Each structure stands twice: as structure tokens, then as C-alpha cells.
Amino acid sequence: MELKTLVNHLLNYKTEHETNVEITSIDMDSRAARPGSLFVCIKGYTVDGHDYAEQAVRNGAAAVLAEKHLPGMDSVPVIIVNDTKRAMAVLANVFYGYPTNKLHLIGVTGTNGKTTTSHLIEQVFSDAGKRTGMIGTIDMKINGVSHKVTNTTPESLFLQKAFKEMIDQGVESAVMEVSSHALDMGRVRGCDYDIAVFTNFTQDHLDYHKDMETYLRAKGLLFAQLGNTYAGNKEKIAVLNRDDEASKEFEKMTAAQILTYGIEQKSDIMAKDIKVTGKGTSFTLVTPLEERPVSLKLVGKFSVYNVLAAISATLLSGIPIDSIIKTMENVKGVPGRFETVDAGQSFTVIVDYAHTPDSLENALTTVKEFAVGKVISVVGCGGDRDKTKRPLMAKIAAENSDVAIFTSDNPRTEDPLAILEDMKAGVQDYEYIIKPGRKDAIVHAIEIAEDNDIILIAGKGHETYQIIGKNVLDFDDRKVAAEAIGAK
Ligand SMILES: CC(=O)N[C@H]1[C@@H](OP(=O)(O)OP(=O)(O)OC[C@H]2O[C@@H](n3ccc(=O)[nH]c3=O)[C@H](O)[C@@H]2O)O[C@H](CO)[C@@H](O)[C@@H]1O[C@H](C)C(=O)N[C@@H](C)C(=O)N[C@H](CCC(=O)O)C(=O)O
Ligand SMILES: Nc1ncnc2c1ncn2[C@@H]1O[C@H](COP(=O)(O)OP(=O)(O)OP(=O)(O)O)[C@@H](O)[C@H]1O
Ligand SMILES: N[C@H](CCC[C@H](N)C(=O)O)C(=O)O
Ligand SMILES: [Mg+2]
């Protein structure tokens, strides 16, 4: 595409050169720039992409999009705009042909349950024979094939390219997690959602959003964006959790139609008579048309919320209820979410991704509901992340476990012992064990476990690494636990 045609979609830009060069890709990383690239300079949190424009041009970039004049950059056209990130979202959408206008796209937001709900939706679509795409924390999937992602919700450029790839591969329906960071940073600008799903709203990410009000507004952007995008006359629908107060705010923020789900409050889609055991959960599904018994392999009341959200979104997408229920009943779980480690031991080991106060409380109260022996928890808190959740998580662990072992999660650039000090501030009146090394903590939990005890290893779920300093080291809770069971 000619640069001139591309940038004509921007309302306001300056250029000091001819713009009749041919653009064959858009890149925001100088290391990925190649002949024909339009290199977009992004001012990041760690470095400024403007400093890499020269490198991009050395790699062959045909043009540069920047926020300021770049001295000495004479060999290629430089397009100057006020906000390169915002401009990139527009240009990526144009360059890839507005792919989301051609997709049935569902966005899932909320503090907890996004990955789980997205997986359930993807499974329903693929079981119903649809060609399906999914983007989220664990990976991106196109027609069942997994691709690596670095963020739960990647940058606009990655997203639009991914959606174009999905269209090329015949994908009809796609589901994606939409994080509050992404909404705040404009990563999903230009995504034409048909359905936006809200799971729940509790404390997390206050390092970034600073307060709950700002965090709530960021989440609300997904609902504000519904029906407010580029083109088309598709019906837009917000799927809201009636039991969560935040839904009231999102109702005000959206012009779309609303479908509600819930357990406590009267909602369009409901679950009643919920029974939780260690083997699964049963309930009666109540829709405007009928009541149906449902028997899940997933455990916990919180799982019922995810299932209700996924049922709502897929019913609205035209999937028959019989097919939806069949999928829900067959789903064994999502990697790293309440995943059991079975190495022939006489006690239960569960690896879970609870890394917020609310998810930890949900996970532990669920475990307590069916525990016969002791509940042993292994809990840490991530470094370079919301410090205020540390004492809360420690207290929840100590209150809801017979033995709480505090350890490291991903310390990142923080001192692991300092993170543990923050946790300890929440448990002055409780007993707990400290094992700073995560492997030591898991091994200790397994050594002290007796018949019928349950160990919950929280926080890292599917992660196959531990970030210490800037190093990403191999670490998988499931493998470490299985080895420790073997050694015992
Ligand atoms: C704080 C934050 O969100 N950072 C994101 C940001 O990184 P950054 O600002 O540090 O980028 P940077 O390294 O300064 O680089 C700036 C620019 O220079 C470019 N560059 C850099 C080096 C070079 O040699 N050449 C070059 O061109 C980079 O490609 C980039 O365009 O832009 C990157 C590219 O899009 C993101 O991957 C990165 O997410 C980091 C990994 C991150 O941890 N983000 C978290 C906070 C996050 O976004 N989390 C939410 C999920 C939360 C949840 O679900 O709970 C998410 O959606 O993932
Ligand atoms: N609906 C829910 N309500 C509360 N807690 C939940 C819910 N669903 C899952 N959880 C808990 O939260 C953990 C994370 O779940 P999941 O990965 O689905 O959430 P997420 O929103 O995608 O998280 P992230 O923000 O890290 O991407 C689970 O391991 C479980 O402990
Ligand atoms: N998306 C979340 C994941 C946290 C996972 C936990 N293991 C941690 O490292 O804190 C974040 O980046 O804050
Ligand atoms: Mg997720």
C-alpha cells in the first residue's frame, strides 16, 4: 500500500518528504523492521522508540511515524503526528483491511475469570464446528493452533495483524481477553466487538491504575466502545454480571443492548440449586426459555459464574443450547486453573492462577468446601505489581488454610524478602511458614502433607517460568510438585 494512501486516513499529520513510497509492513520494533516497513516510534515505559528509528532505517524501513522531528533522518519520509500509538491503531486497522468488521468478535473483561471464560467460549464455538480464534493470557489460538503472545491483550498492531490472519484462515468467530491495561493504553482501539462480557471487578493492578475508580473506568471503556466503532450494522450486546455492583456503572457507559447473568440477583440467565463437590459442580440453568440441569467437571461457585458468562455469550452468538451445555459438561479445565497434579499420591495437589485477593479467597473457600484433611496453601505475590494486595492475600491465605506457606511468585526487580515483609504486615495475628524459594515452599508443602490433605499452589498456574530480576528462569509449579511427590 502506498504510504500516501495509508496516512491519508489520519486527520492531522505533517511530513517533510514525498510520501509515494510503498509500505509492505508496519513495525513498532526496530529489530523487526525490514525493507518496506513503516516504523512506528513509541515512547515506552522503559525506552523511547524514537531512539531506534535509525536502526529501523538501517534494517530497511521505508518510512517512519514519529511524534517529533528526527534530526538527520533524511533518507526516508518521516510522518509526524501528535500520538503515534493512537495513529498506529488507525493505520494498522486500515493496513489489514478492518479485519474485525468481518469477524464475530467477543471481548471479555473483568478482574478474574477472563482466561477461563474465553476458553469456554472458544471451546463452544469449535465444538459447534465453527472456525475459531482466541487471544489471551496463555496464547493465541487460530483454528486450534497455538501461537505465542507476550501480553494478555497485545498491542493494536499485533491484534489487527492477528485478526487479518484469522480472516485469511477462514475464522468466523473470535474471542479475546481485554485487560484494563490494554483498554487504558488504547491497544484495542478500532476493534469492532459484537459482544462485550464482564466477569467481575475486585482489587488488582493498583500499581498502574492507582485507585479502584480509575481501574473501573478503564474496564468500562470496553462497554463504551461497543457500538461505537468503525462500520457495520451488527447488533452490539453487553453481557453483564448482575451480582457485581460494577455492572451498574457499565450499564450507564454503553449504548448497546444488555443481557445479564447471575446467581443471587434476578438476571436473564441464572444458575440455581448449585452443588459443589471435589469432583465437579452441578446446577440448574435458568434461561428466559427453559430450565436445564447442568453437571460440570469444573469446581467452585466462581466456575459457575464463568460458565454463565460463556453460556450467555455463545447463546447470543446463535449456538444451540444443547451444544453449549454439552461442551460445558465435557470441559475438564483450563491449564493452570485449578489443575490437579496427580502422581499417585494420597493427598490432592492443585495448581491455580489465583494472584488477586478475590481469586485467592474463591480458590481457598472452594477447596475448604470439600476438604477432608488439612488445607495447605503455597502463596506468593508478584514483584513490580500492586503492593497493596500483598497483606490482603497473606491474610486470606492464613485465614483459609490450616498451614499457610508464604513464598516468592515472580519477584521481578524487587527483593523477594521485601515482598514477603509486605505480606507479613497482613498476618500479625496468624501463624504461617516462610520459605522464600518457591521450590523449597512446594517441596515443604508436599513433605508435610498427610492422607486426604489438599495443597493449593497459587499464583503462577500455567506459567512455565519464574522472573527473578530481569532473568526468566524455567519453573513450572506442576513439574516441581510432581517431582517432589515422586521424591516423597
Ligand atoms: C507497562 C507495559 O504495559 N509495558 C508494555 C510496553 O512495554 P514498554 O513500554 O516497556 O516498551 P519499551 O521496551 O519501553 O519499548 C518502547 C518501544 O521501543 C521499541 N524498541 C525497543 C527496543 C529496541 O531495540 N527497538 C525498539 O524499536 C519497542 O518495540 C516499543 O515499541 O509495550 C510492550 C509492547 O506492547 C508490552 O509488551 C509491555 O507489556 C509488559 C510486558 C507488561 O508487563 N505489561 C503488563 C503490565 C500488562 O500490560 N498486563 C496486561 C494484563 C494484566 C492482567 O491480565 O492481569 C496485559 O494485557 O498483558
Ligand atoms: N469468576 C471468577 N471469580 C473469581 N475468581 C475467579 C473466577 N474465575 C477464576 N477465578 C480465579 O482466578 C484465577 C485466574 O483465572 P483466569 O486466568 O481465568 O483470570 P484472568 O482474568 O484471565 O486473569 P489475568 O488477569 O491474569 O489474565 C483462577 O485460577 C481462579 O483462582
Ligand atoms: N497479568 C498479571 C499476571 C500476574 C501473575 C503472577 N504470577 C505475577 O507474576 O504477579 C500481571 O502481570 O500482573
Ligand atoms: Mg487472563
Q: What is the DSSP string of 217-245?
A: HHHHHHHHHTT-SSS-----EEEEETTST
How much is the mean pLDDT over the chain? Answer: 95
Provide, rounded to the nearest whole percent, the portion of the chain with pLDDT above 70: 98
Residues having CB within 6 Å of any atom of ligand 3: 152, 355, 382, 385, 409-410, 459-460, 463
Average pLDDT over residues 158-178: 98
3-state SS class at 184: helix
Band the pLDDT of 229: cuts 50, 70, 90.
very low
Q: How many CB atoms lie within 10 A of CB 332?
A: 10
Please name every residue paired with 176 in a beta bridge, in sequence order, or none if there are none: 107, 135
Please identify which residue in the block is written with the cell numbers 503515534. Answer: 84
| pLDDT over threshold 80, residue 67 | yes
Contact 239, 200 (CB under 8 A): no
Determine which residue's CA is closest to atom 16 belonging to ligand 1. 44
Contacts of 5 (CB under 8 A, 6+ apart): none
d(CA 166, CA 343): 39
pLDDT tens-digit profile of 103-135? 999 999 999 999 999 999 999 999 999 999 999
Question: In angstroms, rounded to a whole number, what is the distance separating the alpha carbons of residues 228 and 3?
Answer: 27
Per-residue pLDDT tens digits for 44-64: 999 999 999 999 999 999 999
Question: Mean pLDDT, to the nearest integer, of 19-25?
Answer: 93
User: Which distant-in-sequence residues (6+ apart) come within 8 Å of 252 by Cβ?
Assistant: none
Q: In this structure, what C-alpha cell is assigned to residue 97?
A: 483491511
The binding-site residues of ligand 1, defined as CB within 6 angstroms of any ligand atom, are: 28-31, 42, 44-47, 49, 52, 150-153, 155, 179, 181-182
- pLDDT digits 0-9 by tens, 438-468: 999 999 999 999 999 999 999 999 999 999 9
Out of 108, 117, 152, 353, mutate this one to test ligand 2's pocket (max ligand atoms within 8 Å of CB): namely 353
Q: How many A from CA of 73 to the centre of ligand 1? A: 25
For 18, the 3-state DSSP assignment is coil
b or e along 178-214 (b: 16 or more beta carbons within 10 Å of the residue's beta carbon)? bbbebbbbbbbbbbbbbbbbbbbbbbbbbeebeeeee
* Atom 54, ligand 1: residue with shortest CA distance: 179
Residue 397, judged by CB atoms within 10 A of its CB (0-12, 13-18, 19+), counts as buried
Average of pLDDT values for 218-225? 95
Are the CB atoms for 77 and 19 separated by under 8 Å? yes
- The percent of residues in the chain predicted with pLDDT above 90, rounded, is 93
Give residue 232's pLDDT band: very low, low, confident or very high (50, 70, 90): low
pLDDT in tens, 291-321: 999 999 999 999 999 999 999 999 999 999 9
Distance CA 403, CA 153 (A): 36
Query: pTM here?
Result: 0.95
What is residue 231's predicted lDDT score, i.e. its pLDDT? 47
Residue nearest to atom 27 of ligand 2 (CA): 137
Can you give the pLDDT at residue 230?
44
Instruction: Quote the DSSP letter at residue 7.
Output: H
Pair 56, 27: CB distance under 8 Å: yes
Say if residue 228's pLDDT is above 60.
no
C-alpha angle 347/408/390, rounded to 5°?
Answer: 100
Spacing, Cα 181 to ligand 4 middle (Å): 12
Residue 485 has a CB neighbour count (10 Å cut-off) of 20
> Tell me, what's the pLDDT at 202?
84
- Residue 415, judged by CB atoms within 10 A of its CB (0-12, 13-18, 19+), counts as exposed
- Dist. CA 103 → ligand 2 center (Å): 26
Residue nearest to atom 2 of ligand 3 (CA): 355
Q: How far is the CA of 241 from the centre of ligand 2 (A)?
A: 15
Please state the rounded mean pLDDT for residues 398-403: 98
The pLDDT of 233-261, averaged and rounded, is: 93
